[in-house]
Chains A and B, each alone.
Chain A
Amino acid sequence: MLTGERISLTFVDVAAQPRPPDGALPDAKVTTGKDDIARAWLAEPTTRYDHGILGNKIEAGSLVIETRDGKRQTVRLKDDAVFEDLEPRLACLDRDGHDEIVVVKSYLKRGSSLAVIAERRGKYEIVAETPPLGQPHPWLDPAGIADFTGGGTIGIALVRQPHVIGSLELWSWRDGALGKTAELPDIANHIAGTRAIDMAALADFDGDGIADIVAPSLDRSRLRVVSFAPKPREIASVPLPAKAVTNLGLVAESSGPPAIAVGLADGSLAVIRRAL
């Protein structure tokens, strides 16, 4: 909580490492849900994809879903692809009260796509994908899931090739399919070879009641606050004293939008706040 010029933050010297489920991807995060999906995690480690964008060349061959009744299902990929991700993301994309799962799927010969997994006739399966990026190794990193336009449609924001292209794309879920609806340049939400895949955060920074996105610029020298409502636009571009190198964290303010915490290349911590 930030109050005036005072800030309270939790510092830890060794991050908590809960024991992963058997067969899980090393360092995989177990995502917990509030609805019919209780937990989900990436599993069946494989080295069949020669890339290593997340710090090692061990990717996931499957996704395990544990439903509220304790039963487990596995969505297993064929040998031509891996889940090149660390955590499944749960979100109800079609507002039917049942969570879908969003995860990065990479084809060995065609690069990454964004996959949506949902239950169909009692079985979880991939129900939609964005087109793969076209060749081995180009990767994408999800930046957030929300109604970014205020129109009631849930969108998935992702950064296409956050190390070399840095295009923030908005994909909307309509009638069971994904379609790209907007795009903004100059965004990065990951550093190649690291496991920090959450260098973007969502909040209503401009007070219009609609989720905005904050993430570093492609060169990570600035924090950019952007919105897709009513059209793609920049709310702010804030120069940083050194390049951003960590995930972003939000810190609630007593009023107004949250502050943004980010670790910098010089080892320091910066907090960015909107002046009210």
Chain B
Amino acid sequence: MKRLLLAVGVAAWAGAAQNAQAAEWRVSHVDAPARVSGIETVAGETQVNAGGLW
């Protein structure tokens, strides 16, 4: 397994908040290093599977 810990900026997706409830929540896009194929929680840590990184 190859791991990469990234600190990445997030950019809010415009138009995501379309009602009063959603306005309290923000949807942000994370620039993943490759197409995201899965998310797993391992020992309490969220890991993002993005194949073909290296």
Contact = CB atoms under 8 A, between A and B. Distances in A.
Decide if A and B are genuine partners.
yes
Interface of A: 5-16, 196, 198, 234-241, 246-251, 261-264, 267-275
A12 B37 CA distance: 10
B27 A247 contact: no
A261 B4 CA distance: 17
Given A7-B10, A261-B48, A238 B2 contact: no
- Of listed B9, B33, B47, residue having the most chain A CB within 10 A: B47
Nearest to B43: A32
B26 A11 contact: no
A267 B3 CA distance: 19
A238 B26 CA distance: 8
Contact of B27 (A240, A248, A267): A240
- Of listed A12, A237, A250, residue having the most chain B CB within 10 A: A12
A14 B23 CA distance: 36
Contact of B22 (A15, A239, A249, A262): A239
Q: Which 8 A-B pairs have the closest CB atoms?
A: A249-B46, A267-B35, A263-B36, A13-B53, A269-B30, A249-B39, A246-B39, A269-B32
A221 to B, nearest CB: 11
Contacts of B26: 272-275
The B interface, classified by DSSP as helix, strand, loop or mixed, is strand
Contact of B30 (A9, A238, A247, A274): A9
Contacts of B40: 15, 247, 249
Nearest to B19: A237
A141 B54 CA distance: 35
A236 B23 CA distance: 9
A12 B21 contact: no
Contact of B36 (A235, A239, A240, A246): A246
Nearest to A270: B27
A12 B36 contact: no
Contacts of A6: 7-10
11 contacts: A10-B47, A13-B54, A15-B38, A240-B27, A246-B39, A247-B38, A249-B40, A249-B47, A261-B30, A271-B30, A273-B28
- Of listed A8, A14, A235, residue having the most chain B CB within 10 A: A14
Given A8-B6, A14-B2, A269 B48 contact: yes
B28 A13 contact: no
Contacts of A239: 16-18, 22, 27
Contacts of A237: 19, 21-22
